[in-house]
Amino acid sequence: MSDLYHVSSSPHVRSKDSTSRIMLYVILALLPASFFGIYNFGFRALLIMLITIAGCVASEWIFEKIVHKKSTISDLSAVVTGLLLALNLPVSLPWWEALLGSVFAIIIVKMLFGGLGQNFMNPALGARCFLLIAFAADMTNFNCDAYTGATPLALIRENNGAIPADLNVMDMLTGRTAGTIGETCVIAILLGAIILILLGVIDLKIPASYIITFSIFILIFGASPFDTTYLVAELCGGGLMLGAFFMATDYVTSPITPKGQIVYGICCGLLTGLFRCFGANAEGVSFAIILSNLLVPLIEKFTVPRAFGLVKEAKKNE
């Protein structure tokens, strides 16, 4: 009986979801791509992952020690940042550059802005872009034991939009190509994405609007317009799938309003298409997503849903 009369302040209905549980789901969903990365690129891929994860967790712990804050490493968000960063790095990157990237992700992009929930851009992508500008040569060097030469996207770009003879779109789907550790195998990434969607961690609004916008842009403005093989190659190549499902959907740096999420996805798609078709590099997903991250406060401001029962000003005047 006493339970029945127990009065506490709201909320009275609690969800089992917690930050650490959602982060655990994301890690679970990243496992297929991670395992494939290790299988494809060898033991060094595992080493890079361990370095970035350890770097992220350690820098979060040390920062919070220094500023006398409660440690938040148990919410696993630093582990997700570290793993995502590793999946975005080429396997041949020197270890200290990977470590520097993880320190940059946690200290500068995340903790200096107030920690999880306050960061204005995705920490893993912020660090990737930092490394891309800082170590341009190392970050675009995809030579390793398994593969030599450029990524499929770079090859297609060199070939003026035609698929080179030795490049097989099926290989791009199964990930047997050069690239960063986690971006090559589209099947593994989609498997992870299905896990996330089934567990209810993400919904399709952002990835779908992102990929559809990008496809339309590529079909019209791409190097070979209205060529479906080229479109599939552009969709499977580079970090598009990884970015659309795992990084554009980051809770902190994507809009919370449903309409805003679609606008944000369209922004990501347009910018990615713009960078890939007209930019200096073959790849543009990471810059597109962090630029869209910066637009999020503006998008949210203009897409606030109408509160239930609220009548529009114009109607009232009639």
Which token pair is 131?
A: 């490394």
Residues that bind another protein (rule: CB under 8 A) add up to a total of 12
Among residues 143, 157, 315, which one has the least CA distance to residue 223? 157
Instruction: Report, in Å, the least distance between residue 134 CB and another protein.
Output: 4
| CB nearer another protein, residue 130 or residue 251 | 130
Give the 3-state secondary structure of residue 79.
Answer: helix
Find all residues with CB under 8 Å of 237, minimum gap 6, and list them.
Answer: 151, 152, 153, 156, 172, 177, 179
Q: Report in angstroms how near the CB of residue 65 gets to another protein at its nearest.
A: 17
Closer of 134 and 194 to another protein (Cβ): 134
Q: How far is CA 281 from CA 116, 273, 278, in A?
A: 31, 12, 9
Min dist CB 289 to another protein, Å, is 18
Q: What are phi and psi of 5, to 5 degrees?
A: -95, 5
Nearer to another protein, 134 or 198 (CB): 134
Question: What residues between 127 and 146 interact with another protein by CB under 8 A?
Answer: 130, 133-138
DSSP 7-48: --PSP-S--S--HHHHHHHHHHHHHHHHHHHHHHH-HHHHHH
Minimum distance from residue 137 beta carbon to another protein (Å): 8
Amino acid at 239: G
When the beta carbons of 100 and 167 are compared against another protein, the nearer one is: 100
Which of helix, strand or coil describes residue 6?
A: coil
Residues in region 55-94 near another protein by CB under 8 A: 94
Give the separation between CA 139 and CA 126, rounded to whole angstroms. Answer: 14
CA angle, corner 227, sides to 225 and 233, nearest 5? Answer: 105
Cβ distance to another protein smaller for residue 139 or 248: 139
**Distance of closest approach, residue 133 Cβ to another protein, in angstroms:** 5
Minimum gap (Å) between residue 144 Cβ and another protein: 17
Q: Does 97 bind another protein (CB under 8 A)?
A: yes
Comparison of 46 and 100: residue with beta carbon closer to another protein: 100
Nearer to another protein, 122 or 249 (CB): 122
List Cβ neighbours of 54 (8 Å cut-off, separation of 6 or more): 82
Binds another protein by CB under 8 A, chosen from 43, 96, 278, 308: 96
CB of 135 to another protein, least distance (A): 6
Restricted to residues 111-130, the positions that interact with another protein (CB under 8 A) are: 130
By CB under 8 A, name the one of 100, 204, 216, 274 that touches another protein: 100
**Smaller CB distance to another protein: residue 6 or 68?**
68
Name the minimum Å distance from CB 33 to another protein: 27
Q: Which of 305, 37, 13, 293 is nearest to 187 (CA)?
A: 37
Dihedral angle sign, alpha carbons of residues 234, 236, 237, 241: positive
Number of Cβ atoms within 10 Å of the Cβ of 186: 21
- Residues in contact with another protein by CB under 8 A are 94, 96-97, 100, 108, 130, 133-138
